[in-house]
Chains A and B, each alone.
Chain A
Amino acid sequence: MVRLKVANVSKTLEGVHTLDNLTIELHDKEFVVIVGPSGCGKSTLLNVIAGLLKPDRGSVYIDGKDWTGLTGRVSYMQQKDLLLPWKNILDNVSIPLVLKGINKKEARETAWQYLQDFNLQDFAGHYPRQLSGGMRQRVALLRTYLFASDILLLDEPFAALDAITRHKMQLWLKDIRQRYQPSILFVTHDINEALLLADRIYVLSARPASIKLEINLPTTPSGSEKQHLEEQILIILEG
């Protein structure tokens, strides 16, 4: 079942042709990774899907309904954690619920449940700047999840982390995904990250971004298969 469909989207930003006739699908409970060179317009694509930008041409459909240029349907997480420094972790996580109009007390109770599920309960009373980068991204992901738990847009969420933390976070995300089974659209320029996480990969060209390759990953790819795919993707990204 198609949850999210980006149909023939083009966008020119400040005179730069950024997205060129992109069509992307995200199925139910699927983990799709978009790989592309830095600055190719991946973030622009996610901004269009989130409704923050209106495409020049094309549409965004969610569950068959036209959401082009409309915000508030999918949840969106960026490379920066964007936690509010003046709210403690519990209140930061409650924000999406409060914005949906749930009263503060109930929002806190729900957030507290999930903090426990995500194994973050020990940090509930702390301020974001007391936490490490990895922990802050976990909190940010939980906040993202609490806004819309069915479709998540993740824009290079681990790019700012060191290699060891990043790997830990990738495994953690895999685990979270298995437990909650959301549909995830994940953007990265890290090929290994893509191969580790994805069910399906779209490889984008440099600007203007268009789809160069679509790869369906086998459920448990062997080492040589992975290496082959990595080379294939590299050739496209470098070309």
Chain B
Amino acid sequence: MKKSVNIANKTAPIVAFLILLVIWELGVRIYHIPGYILTGPGQVLVTITKTYPMLWFHGSMTLLEAISGFIMAIAIAFIMAFLLDTLFWLNRAVYPLLIISQTIPLIVLAVLFTIWFGFGLLPKILVVILVCFFPMVISFSNGLNTVDPDQISLFRSMGASRFKTFTMVKLPAAMPSFFSGIRISATYSIMAAVIAEWLGSNRGLGYYMTLQQKQFAIDRVLAAVVVICLLSLLLVKLIDLLEYLLVPWNRKHLGQVWEN
């Protein structure tokens, strides 16, 4: 019983997705929608297989920008969260600035960065960092605050230093929150890189899409979209794997032990 429910849970999204694709394909065919407006998923698939060297050429650039920005954002967010946790006055001073930084339209920033830093890698990485680090700082700091104060008292009563308490209690306790922030940012990172490329570059999926869009090559635009989705999913899965390895105590399948 339980198993069949499980299988149903797993297959349901796949079935729903396939149905959607079929409706899309049928819609395009039945209403004879021209290729410069919308192509069916079948054509998109064909385009992907035909143009994959191009997609890889641009996609690898996007991936490079996204991952470098993402990793730097993790480091910055980590240091920031640590400082916000240790220095109360800094928390007071910086927190509002953090919020404000998120209200600046990303598009404006991307354009400004291009003006300041040119068409190269740097402005893209900066955009990715700006987009990614915020959710991580918030979830990192929340994670550090979730620790039971009694837990900290216990360590203090055993004469543990602040540093020991941080590394032995606060840091591990914050790990699940860290990872939920990292996961959100992972999905943002590819998108941020694409937006930055869209607004000014000479390589990357964003750039590729602007080119194809101007030629009304909708199938190629959609092919790039598929690649973007796949890259984002790949990053998320990678984070899931990391979490599985680094936070073993949180695994769902851990069973209860029953004693006398």
Given contacts A72-B159, A129-B254, A135-B259, contact A82 B164 (CB under 8 A): no
Q: Does A224 contact B (CB under 8 A)?
A: no
Instruction: Determine if A86 and B249 form an interchain contact, defined as CB atoms under 8 angstroms apart.
Output: yes
Q: Which residues of A contact B164 (CB under 8 A)?
A: 99
The answer for the CA separation of A172 and B50 in the assembled complex, in Å, is: 73
Contact yes or no, B153 A130, CB < 8 A: no
Q: Produce 1/0 per residue, A120-161, CB < 8 A to B.
A: 001100110111100100000000000100000000000000
Q: Does B168 contact A (CB under 8 A)?
A: yes
A interface residues, how many (CB within 8 angstroms): 29
Tell me, rounded to whole Å, the shortest Cβ–Cβ distance linking A141 to chain B. 13
- The one of B157, B168, B247, B256 in contact with A76, judged by C-beta atoms closer than 8 angstroms, is B157
Contacts of B172 in A (CB 8 A): 84, 86
CB contacts under 8 Å to A, within B161-215, are 164, 168-169, 172-173, 175
* CB of A78 within 8 Å of the partner chain: yes
Per-residue 0/1 for A46-65: is the Cβ within 8 Å of any B Cβ (1 yes, 0 no)? Answer: 01001110000000000000
Q: What's the dominant secondary structure at chain A's contact region?
A: loop
Number of A-B contacts (CB under 8 A): 70
- Interface hits, A85-136 → B, CB 8 Å: 85-87, 95-96, 99-100, 122-123, 126-127, 129-132, 135
B residues less than 8 Å from A82 (CB atoms)? 148, 150-151, 154
Choose one: B156, B175, B257; the contact of A71 (CB below 8 Å).
B156
Question: Bound complex: CA of A1 vs CA of B158, how far in Å?
Answer: 25
The verdict on A207 contacting chain B, using a C-beta distance below 8 Å, is no
| A80 part of interface (Cβ distance < 8 Å) | yes
Task: Give the chain A neighbours of B255 by CB distance below 8 A.
Answer: 130
Given the interface contacts A71-B159, A132-B259, does A95 sit within 8 Å of B148 by beta carbon? Answer: no
CB distance from B119 to the nearest CB of A (A): 46
The residue of chain A having its C-beta at the shortest distance from the C-beta of B154 within the complex is A82
Shortest CB distance A229–B (Å): 32
Is the pair B160, A99 in contact by a Cβ cutoff of 8 Å? yes
Most A CB within 10 A of own CB, among B153, B158, B254, B259:
B158
CA distance A87 to B175 in the complex (A): 13
Q: How far, in Å, is A30 (CB) from chain B's closest CB?
A: 21
Report yes or no: A51 in contact with B256, Cβ–Cβ below 8 A.
no
Q: Which residues of B contact A135 (CB under 8 A)?
A: 257, 259
The 8 A CB mask of B84-124 against A (1 = contact, 0 = none) is 00000000000000000000000000000000000000000
CB pair A80 B156 closer than 8 Å: no
Contacts A52-B153, A86-B172 given: A147-B158 contact, CB under 8 Å?
A: yes
Q: B249, A85: Cβ atoms under 8 Å?
A: yes
A99 close to B254 (CB less than 8 A)? no
- Docked-complex contact B157 and A95, CB < 8 angstroms: no
Partner of B154, one of A76, A87, A126: A76
For the complex, what is the distance from the CA of A208 to the CA of B135, rounded to whole Å? 46
Interface residues of B in 235-260 (CB under 8 A from A): 247-249, 254-259
B residues within 8 Å of A by Cβ?
Answer: 148, 150-151, 153-160, 164, 168-169, 172-173, 175, 247-249, 254-259
